[in-house]
Amino acid sequence: MKKVDSCQRPVFREKLSVKSKITLFFIFLFPFFLSHHTHADSKPDAGPPFVAAWWCRGAHSQTILGNLWRENPEITYRRERLELPDGDFLDLDWVDGDPRAPLVVILHGLGGSSNSSYVLTLLDEARQKGWRAVVMNARGMSGEPNRLKVTSHSGQSEDLEATMQKLLADPNNHTLYLAGYSRGGNVLLKWLGEKGANVPTAVKKAVAVSVPYDLVLTTSRLDRGFNRAVYTRWMLRPLKAYALHKAVQFPGSLDTATIQQADTFQAFDDHVTAPLNGFDNAHEYWRSVSSALFLDKIRTPVLLIHADNDPLLPAALLPQDVIRASPFLTLLITRDGGHLGFLAGRFPWQQERWLEGRILDFFAAEAPVAPVPLPAR
């Protein structure tokens, strides 16, 4: 089976220096030498705990290898173009099935698409359950540039609203489950908070994974030290290429030299994301769209999955007081897992889909899982 041509996950393509190779060697192997057994979740929970693969322990191993080594099951999509009220469009990629079956709506992370590996594995598991699924590709992320000057960004809940209106127009879509990853999770939580008690009854539950709840905190961590040298450089590469295309598409809108020189999210969002999307500057953009601001308004059962050692936003920095206070939010913190990692299994070629199982188990449970009481930090 063939996958729809789409934007691929950003991967390392440049030749690494000897120093970089040594650094990555120790990043991957140190966790193995520091511990002789795998670690399970440190918080009590009703489901199976996450046990990190022995060959992939630690924040950076899970984050980097989760991007590079996760399975890539073959998925055939049916693509549907959704015309937006502002004249732009979104591409929705469908995995069809029994029209009476539940529908899982998936929002990918920054620079991702329907071809991101964490999306493919969830689609594969949903398909095996006999469920349907649809991936909402963010603007410009489906393999074709979007029409307007605006770009995809972390607060684009209006696009999810347009997608939901389209889906709910079909009476077959009577049971919807929503899953958002990283930036897509931020958009999902923002939309749920904005809708509050007015979320359509067909939307039963949601799961958000590795969400950057506070974008000011997250970008400040990304723009320094190891995170800046590895993750920011990694994530900015496709975004800068996309911005350079925008500069050609809309002459005079962006300075190409500034784009090429941007090596932090502060610089990129100040000169690209903010001006193209109507924000005064990067800080105003981050502050106004952070999902932490919307959590207390959510009235839909949501499972929040986060690794304690997420290098972008460790669990210690999550808005846990707000989450604990809500009867609608369930927080599951795993000891290991990194950012969108959660790799488990005996060998890289025999991986266990713990994350996908937890997501679908939460959706399938007849009653919402009770919020997990977490010890004070």
Active-site annotation holder among 182, 210, 290, 291:
182
Task: Identify whether 36 is a catalytic site residue.
Answer: no
**Domain-wise residue ranges, the chain:** 26-214+290-364, 215-289
Phi, psi of 318 (to 5 degrees): -75, 155
Type of residue numbered 184:
G
**Burial per residue of 181-200, b for 16 or more beta-carbon CB atoms within 10 angstroms, e otherwise:** bbbbbbbbbbbbbbbeeebe
* CB 309 within 8 Å of CB 335: yes
Active-site annotation holder among 60, 153, 306, 339:
339
Closest by CA to 119, choosing from 51, 174, 67, is 67
Grouping H, G, I as helix, E, B as strand and the rest as coil, residue 257 is: helix
* CB 179 within 8 Å of CB 359: yes
pLDDT score recorded for residue 91: 98
* CB 186 within 8 Å of CB 286: no
pLDDT score recorded for residue 238: 94
Q: Which CATH superfamily is domain 26-214+290-364 in?
A: Alpha/Beta hydrolase fold, catalytic domain (3.40.50.1820)
Task: Identify whether 182 is a catalytic site residue.
Answer: yes
pLDDT score recorded for residue 369: 46
* CB 180 within 8 Å of CB 187: yes
pLDDT score recorded for residue 367: 56
Neighbouring CB atoms inside 10 A of 3's CB total 15
Tokens at 339, concatenated: 């950012």
Q: Tell me the DSSP string of 179-237.
A: EEETHHHHHHHHHHHHHGGGS-TTEEEEEEES--S-HHHHHHHHTSHHHIIIIIHHHHH
Closest by CA to 57, choosing from 258, 343, 334, 371, is 343
The number of helices, as runs of H, and strands, as runs of E, in the chain is 14, 10
Active-site annotation holder among 159, 269, 310, 336:
310
Averaged pLDDT, groups of 10, the chain, 377 residues long: 41 41 46 38 62 96 96 96 98 96 98 97 98 98 96 97 98 97 98 98 98 98 97 96 96 96 98 97 98 98 98 97 97 98 96 98 75 42
pTM score over 0.95? no
**36 to 26, 59, 97, 310, 351: CA distances (angstroms):** 16, 17, 44, 22, 20
pLDDT score recorded for residue 307: 98
pLDDT score recorded for residue 72: 95
pLDDT score recorded for residue 159: 98
